[in-house]
Amino acid sequence: MARNPFIAGNWKMNMTVPEGTALVTALIEEKDDITPVEVGVCPPATALYAIGKLLQEKGSAIKLGAQDVFGDGTGAFTGMLSIPMLVDCGCQYVILGHSERRGRFGTTPDWLTSPLQALFADSNESVNLKASIVMRSPLTPIICVGETIDERKAGKTDDVVRSQVEAALQGLDKGRLGEVVLAYEPVWAIGTGETCDSAEAQRVCQLIRNTVAAIDTAAAGAMRIQYGGSVKADNAEELLGQPDIDGALVGGASLKAADFAAIVRAAKVTAG
Ligand code: PGA
């Protein structure tokens, strides 16, 4: 089954509104025909509304995503964002369970003290809960999974990834399961410049697809599986050329229009 590649930029805690506006304006100005590649940007919460409005005003096909969500409805949850708030900003996607929110960093930045890290602590259970509410909304989740370096060294990669996928998808509506985007992001490759080699990334992405197939075969055929972890213009084509890698979740290289656009072009080349 043909799956349209999906390249999403995760800006993390970067970009003020003017900076993000300049970045997206530059991306829109890259006038190449990128069909059939789908492109998304995931700004920080403070820039979602402005970037959503800009994309709408320019009639751009670039999709808007948020980096996390707390819940549905309204309530006394200081500092948190709800699904209706994200929809209101024009979001179509939301990242869930990024390793930086699962509270299981490979290396902890100096400024991030452990009590603060614990507050982030998304678990397999909370990711599943968030996925189930997102799937009942107009948003589509991009669910991140991936092993730490210690888990890889202990030979636990397959078990960790399989159990994260099974837990995240547990009980989701099978009718929409194929719309979910899964991102395989080995924690040791995120922001380190160390990329998982393409054969190993393909092997794990295939394992992810097989895990989904055990739940629902049609969903496994339709589901886009991204690779994330130090994706750059010079390694994108090789990674995206793998049969079970249908896109990329890009951190650092999504912050410069030329770098991100080059990754999008690589996705177009590999899509044929
Ligand atoms: P990176 O981040 O591209 O900077 O490694 C990827 C991610 O965390 O999604």
Task: Indicate the domain borders of the chain.
Answer: 6-255
CB of residue 251 inside a 6 A radius of ligand 1: yes
**Residues recognised as catalytic:** 98, 185
Given a cut of 80, whether residue 31 has pLDDT beyond it is: no
Q: What is the mean pLDDT of residues 151-156?
A: 94
φ, ψ of residue 217 to 5 degrees: the values are: -65, -45
CB of residue 185 inside a 6 A radius of ligand 1: yes
CA-wise closest residue to 180 among 216, 234, 232: 216
Position 106 scores a pLDDT of 42
Q: What is the mean pLDDT of residues 135-150?
A: 95
Q: Which atom of ligand 1 is nearest to the CA of 99?
A: 8
- Tell me the percentage of the chain whose pLDDT exceeds 90: 81
In CATH terms, 6-255 corresponds, of 3.40.50.1980, 3.30.70.2390, 3.20.20.70, 3.40.50.20, to: 3.20.20.70
Given a cut of 70, whether residue 115 has pLDDT beyond it is: no
φ, ψ of residue 68 to 5 degrees: the values are: -175, 165
Q: What is the pLDDT of residues 33-91, one digit of tens each?
A: 788 999 999 999 999 999 999 999 999 999 999 999 999 989 999 999 999 999 999 99
For the chain, percent helix, then strand, then coil, each to nearest 5? 45, 15, 40
CA-wise closest residue to 229 among 206, 208, 204, 252: 252
Which region among 25-39, 87-101, 240-254 has the lowest average model confidence (pLDDT)?
25-39
CA separation for the pair 27, 163 (Å, rounded): 37
CA separation for the pair 11, 77 (Å, rounded): 24
Average pLDDT over the chain, rounded to an integer: 92
**pLDDT tier, 103 (very low <50, low <70, confident <90, very high otherwise):** low
CB of residue 259 inside a 6 A radius of ligand 1: no
Which region among 29-33, 174-178, 195-199, 214-218 has the lowest average model confidence (pLDDT)?
29-33
Q: What is the mean pLDDT of residues 84-110?
A: 82
Q: Please check whether residue 242 is in contact with residue 205, taking contact to mean a CB–CB distance below 8 angstroms.
A: yes
Residue nearest atom 3 of ligand 1, based on CA coordinates = 251
Q: Is 168 helix (H, G, I), strand (E, B) or coil?
A: helix
Q: Please check whether residue 103 is in contact with residue 122, taking contact to mean a CB–CB distance below 8 angstroms.
A: yes
DSSP label of 82: B
CB of residue 142 inside a 6 A radius of ligand 1: no
φ, ψ of residue 72 to 5 degrees: the values are: -100, 170
Q: Is 95 helix (H, G, I), strand (E, B) or coil?
A: strand
pTM: 0.95
CA separation for the pair 47, 156 (Å, rounded): 38
Interval between CA 97 and ligand 1 midpoint (Å): 13
What residues contact 45, with CB distance under 8 A and at least 6 apart? 66, 67, 81
Q: Which atom of ligand 1 is nearest to the CA of 229?
A: 5
Q: Is 39 helix (H, G, I), strand (E, B) or coil?
A: strand
